[in-house]
Amino acid sequence: MTAPLLTARNVSVRLGGRTIVDDISLTLQANEFVVLVGPNGAGKTTLIKALAGLVAAFGEVEIEGRALSSVPARERARRLAYLPQGHDFSWPLPAAEIVALGRYPHADPFSPVSQGDRDAVMHALEITGTKAFANRIVTTLSGGERARVALARVLATQAPIVLADEPTMSLDPRHQFVVMDLLRHAAHESGAVLAVVHDLALAARYADRVIVLEQGRVVADGKPDIALSTERIAHVFGVEADMIEIGGAKLPLVRRPL
């Protein structure tokens, strides 16, 4: 059996004297689209950063069967792409140049940009619907436009493992579907994706598997309708939800706070 694309074993993170991520073990198998949900402050961002090697953590993280810490930075950036929360850009660069940064780990610094790099950037701009503003300065774009440019940069890396922190933040309903379709497609075609999503119905509609985090611990990891039962939603999120059936899938519709 091939190794999972990503494995976390007993990962814990302590920040500010508190345990924020508490002994988490999980895997991302090839072709899986996994959605991570949990209330504000549950530790989702911290866990994603630990899996990306961006915050000091106890325990072990492996990508493609190798300890993350042993994978050279450039290779790591080709194998694992991270979409941070918020999509703020500090540099006033054209959007296309931001997306092209996704090719940086592939580039030979002494060679001109390859046709493969140009094709990957163009493809990422096209599928995220950002080609129309490719030449606009990214800091002048709207929040939703910037979010899609940030995703285009991640997809341009063509990394098999994608860790996306709230990729649907700031997006209108149509673009939320577009982005979830893109991430599911990326997972099913060429790797595995772990994405933080707050909309439970969106999570249940798209995920192959849902991981529920509460106070730094995994309290459910399984098929969406099992992980996101009405009882668990009530317990973890403090809201009452109804299950509605759409196109054969059971989706939680949040009705009111408890």
Ligand X SMILES: Nc1ncnc2c1ncn2[C@@H]1O[C@H](COP(=O)(O)OP(=O)(O)OP(=O)(O)O)[C@@H](O)[C@H]1O
Q: How many residues bind ligand X (CB under 6 A)?
A: 11
Question: Coil, strand, or helix at residue 235?
Answer: helix
Asked if 198 and 37 count as a contact pair (C-beta separation under 8 A), the reply is yes
Please report how close the Cβ of residue 214 comes to ligand X at its closest, in angstroms: 10
Binding mask 40-79 toward ligand X (x if CB under 6 A, else -) reads xxxxxxx---------------------------------
> From CA 147, how far away is CA 181, in angstroms rounded?
15
Residue 47 or 121: the one with the smaller Cβ distance to ligand X is 47
Question: How far, in whole angstroms, is CA 101 from its chain's centroid?
Answer: 18
Q: Which of 1, 16, 110, 247 binds ligand X (CB under 6 A)?
A: 16
Q: How many helices (H) does the chain have, and how many strands (E)?
A: 9, 12
Please report how close the Cβ of residue 170 comes to ligand X at its closest, in angstroms: 14
Residue 43 or 167: the one with the smaller Cβ distance to ligand X is 43
Please report how close the Cβ of residue 43 comes to ligand X at its closest, in angstroms: 4
Residue found by looking up tokens 């990503």 in the block: 6
> From CA 118, how far away is CA 70, in angstroms rounded?
30
Which range of residues in 15-23, 87-95, 138-146, 170-178 is near ligand X by CB under 6 A? 15-23
In the chain the first and final C-alpha atoms are separated, in Å, by: 45
**Among 154, 158, 163, 183, which Cα is nearest to 6's?**
163
Q: Which of 7, 11, 22, 38 binds ligand X (CB under 6 A)?
A: 38
**Among 40, 154, 169, which Cα is nearest to 104's?**
154
* DSSP structural state of residue 167: T
Please report how close the Cβ of residue 6 comes to ligand X at its closest, in angstroms: 18
Residue 51 or 81: the one with the smaller Cβ distance to ligand X is 51
- Other CB atoms within a 10 A radius of the CB of residue 152 amount to 27
Bridge partners of residue 193, in order along the sequence:
33, 162
Residue 20 makes contact with ligand X by CB under 6 A? yes
> From CA 97, how far away is CA 153, in angstroms rounded?
9
Please report how close the Cβ of residue 50 comes to ligand X at its closest, in angstroms: 9
Binding mask 114-153 toward ligand X (x if CB under 6 A, else -) reads ----------------------------------------
Residue 44 or 106: the one with the smaller Cβ distance to ligand X is 44
Please report how close the Cβ of residue 194 comes to ligand X at its closest, in angstroms: 13
Please give the residue ranges that form the binding site for ligand X (CB under 6 A). Answer: 15-16, 20, 38, 40-46
